[in-house]
Amino acid sequence: MSSFDDPNAMSQPSLAARAMAARPAPYLDELNPAQRAAVEALDGPVLMLAGAGTGKTKALTARIAHLMQTGRARPNEILAVTFTNKAAREMKDRVGRLMGQTVEGMPWLGTFHAICVKLLRRHAELVGLKSNFTILDTDDQIRLMKQLIIAENIDEKRWPARQLAGLIDHWKNRAWRPDQVPASEASAFNHRGSELYDYYQQRLKTLNAVDFGDLLLHMVTIFQNHPDVLEQYQRWFRYVLVDEYQDTNVAQYLWLRLLAQGHKNICCVGDDDQSIYGWRGAEVGNILRFEKDFPGAKVVRLEQNYRSTPHILAAASAVIDANQGRLGKTLWTAAEDGEKVRLIGHWDGEEEARWIGEEVESMARGTRGLRPFSLDEMAILVRASHQMRAFEDRFLTIGLPYRVIGGPRFYERMEIRDAMAYFRLAVSPDDDLAFERVVNTPKRGLGDKAQQKIQMTARSNGVSLVDGARILLQDKGLGGKGGAELRVLVDAIGRWSDLARQPEHNHIELAEQILDESGYTAHWQNDKTPEAPGRLENLKELVKALESFENLQGFLEHVALIMDNESDAGEAKVSIMTLHAAKGLEFPAVFLPGWEDGLFPSQRSMDESGLKGLEEERRLAYVGITRAEELATISFAANRRVYGQWQSALPSRFIDELPEAHVDVLTPPGLYGGGYGAAGMAASASPQIMTAAESDLQERASRADVYNSPGWKRLQARSQSRPMSQPRESRSMVIDAEAISAFTAGDRVFHTKFGYGTVMGLEGDKIDVEFDKAGGKKVVGRFLVAAAEAGDVPF
């Protein structure tokens, strides 16, 4: 531990820092008046209400720079918390740039969790842990809970471990320890909820482990029970800054309040209109209550938007305006008018994906008087990840490069987690969860029965599973193939841990050795499934990632908290992601598909949380629209396949909230042939058992007559002028007679359904085409169009 970031090694504010105060501060000149006010109000509580695209990070980093520049605090006396590693990294970079390289890193700029780990390792003994505790991820947690549920003879099918995990997580978010769970909730989970929570915490303690929620909760406990420790940090962290304050949960809130209680030098930055994580414990109330919590707080509103055009802002503002109980901000911009928000309805989800695919392509070429947009500048933001499939399918067929943001993360992949479990065993052989995970991976003939024997031996001897296995083998309690294999494994673990303890032994070599000797690499080499090569590739990447660490231990410690996967740069691609994943990002052109009642706003959200749920959905809509810089395109479909069943839906109520003056309604061919209105009618019939709040909601919805809504009327108006749909193929796919005879073997062609391909030959009235993605097909000539060029993919 360096003395630099150790509160115990406190010293006087440095002379150098004070001397710096005299120098001018160029970063202040780049701020607008509101930003500047937020930066210069250094002492006392400050709430910075920063609307979307108003230069929040700029103000926050300038504030940090200003704190140092004025000599108020040294870099290590500033506590700055974010939610994601990405945000933390960005802030570090920007502060570094503002200050020049003279500033040593800020040890206390990081995520809530990363900072809490650091603190908890110093004070672990105060909550009955050793400072080398392990951090469990969701997977480990669930396995542990499953064991508990089975041990307690609870029907695991009716009471799944997932649910218990969710419940306990919820309680931890609210900062309830097992004895603090209110009676109204404690009986959840078959009346055993709080009891199981208690057992779970005991198990964690014996395993010397914590889960993510514990990181915060343990620190709150320590601060509450040990005033001396708390005081020490209150004094050390002279200034506290919090990013995305609207996303804090109760535990985080308590933690912050405890730390800032003394000097009250706390600056919270956030936007109540962008609070979209209520479902995972975030309390908008925290930000709404700030002025009560910190009387005399200075509230600064950042309202000048530097991101979007006026039309986009107007649309977003109108939507969010329908929410109650906002702190209230009015975004404005100095930008030119630009394009209106575009609205388009489709017959079904497939048609929507097809249209967006084509629109992306033509926008990339730069049609319709719009400037050309590179694929990197376009994004498709969906409400639910299952919506992504339609787009992936479509983009694959037409050969449009895309990237999905926020898929399964690198460190959550099976092979990575297996490999990490082996590493964990090398570093600490007593890690029972790691042992359980890999004892029969690859298959060693150690099934349930053998594993139970190991468990029993370990428990009766009061030792870890590896040691239990050793004893079992010594007592000849396990013979045959399984016994022999177990011997090999146990010996190997012994060897690895010896090597891991030798600082001179290269940890990268050790990692390779572990993967090799465990048979894990061979396991995937022998696997013939199509995923196997990718998994081996990932393992290689994992080993490569070790390079930036001193040893395995250091690597493991960091990995638990840093679950990033940097999306590959390289070729320009259109991005597909959820609205949640899009928060904090911006794109010149944004597509917002699936704006249908039930999907967006999500029915489940409204069922479970009533008006609160609807308002959070509306904030999501606001987040979506405000991601767009120049062009936002909202769309909906009358019909969609949900869980294999066709369902019709009405356009989202959020569409009715879009102001007419800022919206352009586009009409695609193929929409009004199928009785759109009839399809819409069918959707409203879904009777529900409702609470009072929900029925109120329902009433509101039905009173808002969709057919008199501006959105609907606009669509009707357009449909009259172009009453009948043409067949889908009519736009670009129909080929005139001459064209058909023009196809010969070797021609590059395009088919709406199968994508690009090469003509192999002619067979009667059919043409034999070898498609790039879909394989060989015989198709009717009129569904084919000559591909633009031999080099087909236009990008």
Distance of CA 181 to the CA centre of its chain: 28
Q: Where are the beta strands (DSSP E) in 200-313?
A: 209-210, 239-242, 266-270, 298-302
> Is residue 631 within 8 Å of 589, Cβ to Cβ?
yes
Marked catalytic residue, from 77, 214, 243, 597: 243
* CA separation for the pair 138, 511 (Å, rounded): 24
Whether 393 is catalytic is: no
Interacting residues with DNA between 298 and 327 (CB under 7 A): none
Residue 54, annotated ligand binder? yes
Whether 354 is catalytic is: no
Instruction: Please pick, from the candidates 130, 462, 643, 686, the single residue that binds DNA as defined by CB under 7 A.
Output: 643
> Is residue 59 within 8 Å of 98, Cβ to Cβ?
no
Q: Which is nearer to DNA, 82 or 234 (CB)?
A: 82
Tell me the C-alpha to C-alpha distance, in Å, between residue 454 and each of 465, 743, 748. 7, 70, 63
Whether 56 is catalytic is: yes
Instruction: Answer yes or no whether residue 617 interacts with DNA by CB under 7 A.
Output: yes
Instruction: Please pick, from the candidates 103, 154, 299, 384, the single residue that binds DNA as defined by CB under 7 A.
Output: 384
Instruction: Answer yes or no whether residue 232 interacts with DNA by CB under 7 A.
Output: no
Kindly give the pairing relationship between strand 298-302 and strand 755-763: unpaired
Residue type, 428: S
Instruction: Answer yes or no whether residue 126 interacts with DNA by CB under 7 A.
Output: no
Residue 57, annotated ligand binder? yes
Instruction: Answer yes or no whether residue 578 interacts with DNA by CB under 7 A.
Output: yes
> Is residue 275 within 8 Å of 583, Cβ to Cβ?
no
Instruction: Answer yes or no whether residue 602 interacts with DNA by CB under 7 A.
Output: yes
Neighbours of 298 (CB within 10 A): 16
Instruction: Answer yes or no whether residue 605 interacts with DNA by CB under 7 A.
Output: yes
Q: Which is nearer to DNA, 215 or 378 (CB)?
A: 215
Stretch that binds DNA, among 315-323, 501-509, 606-614, 759-767 (CB under 7 A): 606-614
Stretch that binds DNA, among 11-19, 504-512, 521-529, 573-581 (CB under 7 A): 573-581
Give 55's contacts (C-beta < 8 A, 6+ positions apart).
31, 32, 35, 302, 304, 306
Q: Is the peptide bond preceding residue 669 cis, with omega within 30 degrees of 0?
A: no
Instruction: Answer yes or no whether residue 114 interacts with DNA by CB under 7 A.
Output: yes
Closest by Cα among 465, 515, 456 to 486: 465
Whether 86 is catalytic is: no
Min dist CB 134 to DNA, Å, is 14
Whether 627 is catalytic is: yes
Instruction: Please pick, from the candidates 228, 448, 547, 736, the single residue that binds DNA as defined by CB under 7 A.
Output: 448
Q: Which is nearer to DNA, 371 or 443 (CB)?
A: 443
Instruction: Answer yes or no whether residue 595 interacts with DNA by CB under 7 A.
Output: no
Tell me the C-alpha to C-alpha distance, in Å, between residue 511 and each of 421, 505, 552, 555. 11, 11, 8, 11
Min dist CB 35 to DNA, Å, is 26
Stretch that binds DNA, among 326-334, 427-435, 622-630, 640-648 (CB under 7 A): 640-648
Min dist CB 715 to DNA, Å, is 26
Stretch that binds DNA, among 17-25, 504-512, 598-606, 663-671 (CB under 7 A): 598-606
Tell me the C-alpha to C-alpha distance, in Å, between residue 327 and each of 28, 46, 284, 618. 27, 15, 11, 15
- Residues 56-85, one symbol each (x = binds DNA by CB under 7 A, - = not), give ---------------------------xxx
- Residues 491-520, one symbol each (x = binds DNA by CB under 7 A, - = not), give ------------------------------
Marked catalytic residue, from 63, 413, 453, 627: 627
Instruction: Please pick, from the candidates 192, 342, 580, 653, the single residue that binds DNA as defined by CB under 7 A.
Output: 580
3-state DSSP assignment of residue 400? coil
3-state DSSP assignment of residue 203? helix
Instruction: Answer yes or no whether residue 170 interacts with DNA by CB under 7 A.
Output: no
- CA geometry: angle 609, 214, 554, nearest 5 deg: 130
Whether 722 is catalytic is: no
Marked catalytic residue, from 56, 63, 403, 424: 56
Instruction: Answer yes or no whether residue 406 interacts with DNA by CB under 7 A.
Output: yes
Handedness of CA 576, 335, 634, 656 (dihedral sign): positive
Stretch that binds DNA, among 39-47, 347-355, 560-568, 743-751 (CB under 7 A): 560-568
Instruction: Answer yes or no whether residue 439 interacts with DNA by CB under 7 A.
Output: no
Query: Can you give the C-alpha Rg of the chain in angstroms?
Result: 30
Instruction: Please pick, from the candidates 498, 509, 564, 699, the single residue that binds DNA as defined by CB under 7 A.
Output: 564
Instruction: Answer yes or no whether residue 722 interacts with DNA by CB under 7 A.
Output: no
Instruction: Please pick, from the candidates 20, 28, 208, 279, the single residue that binds DNA as defined by CB under 7 A.
Output: 279
Residue 56, annotated ligand binder? yes
* CA separation for the pair 377, 360 (Å, rounded): 10
Instruction: Answer yes or no whether residue 608 interacts with DNA by CB under 7 A.
Output: yes
Instruction: Please pick, from the candidates 157, 191, 292, 476, the single residue that binds DNA as defined by CB under 7 A.
Output: 157
* CA separation for the pair 621, 323 (Å, rounded): 12
Neighbours of 177 (CB within 10 A): 16
Instruction: Answer yes or no whether residue 269 interacts with DNA by CB under 7 A.
Output: no
Residue 349, annotated ligand binder? no
For residue 87, give both structure tokens: 């945000």
Marked catalytic residue, from 134, 141, 248, 274: 274
Instruction: Answer yes or no whether residue 604 interacts with DNA by CB under 7 A.
Output: yes
Interacting residues with DNA between 211 and 230 (CB under 7 A): 212
* Residue 717 C-beta-side C-alpha neighbours within 13 Å: 10
Q: Which is nearer to DNA, 339 or 352 (CB)?
A: 352
Residue 572, annotated ligand binder? no
Min dist CB 336 to DNA, Å, is 33
Q: Which is nearer to DNA, 61 or 173 (CB)?
A: 173
Residue type, 466: V
Q: Which residue has the tokens 């707080």?
A: 297
Q: Which is nearer to DNA, 754 or 756 (CB)?
A: 754
* CA separation for the pair 650, 656 (Å, rounded): 11
Instruction: Answer yes or no whether residue 138 interacts with DNA by CB under 7 A.
Output: yes
Q: Which DSSP category does 570 fall into? A: S
Q: How many residues bind DNA (CB under 7 A)?
A: 45
The three-state DSSP-derived secondary structure of 608-626 is: HHHHHHHHHHHHHHHHHHH
Instruction: Answer yes or no whether residue 174 interacts with DNA by CB under 7 A.
Output: no
* CA separation for the pair 225, 498 (Å, rounded): 39
Stretch that binds DNA, among 286-294, 453-461, 601-609, 664-672 (CB under 7 A): 601-609
Residue 406, annotated ligand binder? no
Instruction: Answer yes or no whether residue 18 interacts with DNA by CB under 7 A.
Output: no
Min dist CB 686 to DNA, Å, is 15
Instruction: Answer yes or no whether residue 598 interacts with DNA by CB under 7 A.
Output: no
* CA separation for the pair 178, 638 (Å, rounded): 48
Closest by Cα among 601, 616, 615 to 649: 601
> Is residue 593 within 8 Å of 356, Cβ to Cβ?
yes
- CA geometry: angle 360, 364, 367, nearest 5 deg: 95
> Is residue 240 within 8 Å of 267, Cβ to Cβ?
yes
Min dist CB 414 to DNA, Å, is 10
* Residue 171 C-beta-side C-alpha neighbours within 13 Å: 29
Instruction: Answer yes or no whether residue 534 interacts with DNA by CB under 7 A.
Output: no
Q: Which DSSP category does 658 fall into? A: S
Instruction: Answer yes or no whether residue 613 interacts with DNA by CB under 7 A.
Output: yes
Q: Which is nearer to DNA, 409 or 501 (CB)?
A: 409
DSSP symbols for 480-494:
HHHHHHHHHHHHHHH
Q: Which residue has the tokens 């309830």?
A: 176
Give 659's contacts (C-beta < 8 A, 6+ positions apart).
314, 315, 318
The binding site for DNA (CB under 7 A) comprises: 83-86, 111, 113-114, 137-138, 156-157, 212, 279-280, 384-386, 406, 409, 440, 443, 445-450, 482, 561, 563-564, 577-578, 580-581, 602, 604-605, 608-609, 613, 617, 641, 643-644
Binding region for ATP: 50-57
Active-site residues, by number, are: 56-57, 243-244, 274, 627
